[in-house]
Structure 1
Amino acid sequence: MTDWTEKHRPSTLAEVRGNDKARDALAEWAETWPDHREAVILHGSPGVGKTSAAHALAADLDWPTIELNASDARTKAVIERVAGEAAKSGTLTEGGAGRRLLILDEADNLHGNADRGGARAITGVVNEASQPMVLIANEFYEMSNGLRNACRDIEFRDVSTRSIVPVLRDICRQEDVGFEDDALQKIAEANDGDLRGAIKDLQAAADGRETITAEGVVTGDRDRTTGIFDYLDAVLKEADAQQALEGSYDVDETPDDLISWIEDNMPKEYEGAELARAYRSLSTADRWLGRVRATQNYSFWRYAADNMTAGVAAARDGKKSGWTRYGPPSYWSKLGRTKGARGTRDDVARAIAQTSGVSMSTARRKILPHLEVITHHCKNREATVAMAAAYDLSAEHVAFVTGSGEDTNKVQSIVEDAHQLREEAAVEGSEGAFEPGSDEGDPSDEAESAAEGDTRVTAADEDDTSTSVERDDASDSGQRDAQENEDDQQTGLGDFV
């Protein structure tokens, strides 16, 4: 049997139901695209018509479509190859004005190390695209700030029951299936804004029947979760203590994350005494979460949940109204902003550690800060070139250490000179010159010394022997101090001063 969600998919924008405002905004975006040339993000709950609207738009404008699912092609290379070429190329034979529409579904699924640069690649494609692009996402705030800022956004809201019922009625008539109005109402209410889910339930109810009756409708209890923004709207504006607690059971957030959402958005609704009372409840909840972390006893979560939900709702003086723009916890944004810098810092520390034979911790805490001072803004160019050559640093790494722009001429020229310096050293067979702390002798000298039966013991050898004996007698604390001192001596910082 043909899937009714595909069979009855809207063929034009005019047939998209339940999101008239979003539909009109999408049409306006397409009509004015030659003027602004921006991509657009269609975001909202699953099943509300985002992808259908994108395809209907393309049909209206006679634009061929290329659809890519971010979950299937998440790496930088795949996205740049497929999406990049599709977004840049077009011919006069391809639809209206030679345009094609690139549709990227599940664009909010690009995050974390597993995507290996996928989110950054999409942002790059969006910024360089010469063809219209539509990105589809369920969670707008799961997308990177850079990607959100590079695009327009249009929100598709949950489809109301009164908009779902006429769609179900039209499908029944086209399929020549009888129906009771109560049956369609029951299906629409059970799907709670999910038009696609309602159509699937309608097809299941009609299977093998001539008429769909209310008694014959069995709607499966889907695993539904309340969106965090809907929950915040309820708990901070109108829910009583019991409703706030019970509503939290349907929110797909851990207590540690939920308390952060509530804490950051609470001041947008509460003030004065009610805000103080709410903060006291959050403080108590935070102490319970601390006990969970300390004892690994997760039964304490329920006490934290009581305070962060019911306690916050009870602190409110009365119901509130109006629309409020909630946002994700501010510290999440801070982590996102500094994630790249922290990764670059660790890359530099790793290069220093491997070259100097010290730990990454020592490289990060003791060597890198000195290098930052010595090479600040590349003022000591000779030292900066020596550093880049010694640790084989890229332009990104040099820019991080010196505090300069990666694309500036001075950073690029320093990296080029460092690369040339390493090549010259390789030709001369003296790579060891770029290994700070290296004191290996010429192999020919060693061979000559061995041939002559040289058995001399230098003063340095005696010092090393003495030091070795002293280390054998040292305490554990002394051993750690000696190791740190040895690490400091091996850093080779003197080469750059």
Structure 2
Amino acid sequence: MTDWTEKYRPSSLSELRGNNKARDALKEWAQTWDDHKDAAILHGSPGVGKTSAAHALANDMEWPTIELNASDQRTSSVVEKVAGEAAKSGTLTGGGDGRRLVIMDEADNLHGNVDRGGSKAITEVVKEAGQPMVLIANEFYDMSNTLRNACEEIEFRDVQARSIVPALRHICKQEGIEYEKDALRAIADKNDGDLRSAVNDLQAIAETEERLTAEDVEVTGDRDRSSGIFDFLDALFKEEDARSAIRESYDVDETPDDMLNWVEDNVPKDYEGAELATAYDFLSNADKWLGRVQASQDYSYWRYAGDNIAGGVAAARQGDKGGWTRYGPPSYWRKLGSSRGNRNKRDYVARKIAETDGVSMSTARREILPFLAAMTHHCKNRELTIAMTAKYDLDAEHVSFVTGSGEDTNKVQNIVESAEELREEAAVEHSGGAFEGSHGSQSDAADSSAASDGTNSESAGETDDSEGEASGDSGDADDNQAGLTDF
């Protein structure tokens, strides 16, 4: 799936949202480069458009780009060889005037002896560059005085919400997304000047919602927390070993309970097979430790839960993971939301589960309902969704809540109708439960056989029960039927 921040990156400076002053300064720097031949430092908060502006400038000037990352070129010899050669004059890869734009990202990520002369080498390259060179930095004053003085400074400020909203509106139009105006404004306000994060939030919410509402945005949490958890998930699933993942988890502003929900919902997007099963084993252990916290109010157990969530899941990874993954807030957690209406729906379904399965409301809410939501997400497993609806006698409103599908869609309406038929058939056949009736064909065969043998209704019922169990066993081999008898 394409990352929208890349898909909708501006191709021209004229498309850049906000920072008009910085945009004009960058344009003037490029147009007069032959006169001054200085490098430029674009600095400002993450996500405000610095790198996008550099690439948009290159398109406007018809300059090919050479991209480097200062944090990846940390020794003086590497910097001099790679960056120095890139910044030399030449026409082999240049535009009509032989120019090419050298873009060095994370130029502030160089720290003294750790980089073994890298900062000094970059300064020398900047002074001697025969090509336009742009350095990208988040923290201008983390760079050496010598390097700062050798470049033209261009500051990018946080993008105001009124500039973010039109960008989000444009993406919604291009992607065919329905939205409330207040939803886009809420995304812009929550991201506090970070356009890139706003686009990421829009994409994450649009994945699971058919229409964007302000409430959808509200329950995703604050940007500071979401940004941290997204970075953590990427590192956990793709990069860090167990020890490093545990250290990374210390910097995430989430309780172990919430972190478990995030990891549990997103791990299937990167893991599969044996590694996914192992990851879930560790998450199950974490849930047990969280249960001890709940029972004893001893929060020292949080540590053991966190170790299983971070270290265990990282250790379960097999092989390299690459590419971009669209992570999103836990679907069940988001659906609970903060509105009274959603809480009422949750409690209604939990009560049905509790009454039918003989469990507590708490167990129904915390342990059973989240798994029902995951297994019947968007009604993709239709037979399973019908069976769930029949067993707990749910109407369209509550099927919609559990599955995340629209209440008025044909899909949900057909699910409810099929579930009602299933319940009626089960009542007529005295099958002992709607789920056994859902296996249908073998029970019917048992009834016919009993009738032909002249047996009474009691023996027919016994035959039906045994055949229903056999049907349940054979159903385990069918992915679409898996888990029906577990409800």
TM-score, scaled relative to structure 2 = 0.45
- Structure number, greater radius of gyration: 1
TM-score, scaled relative to structure 1 = 0.44
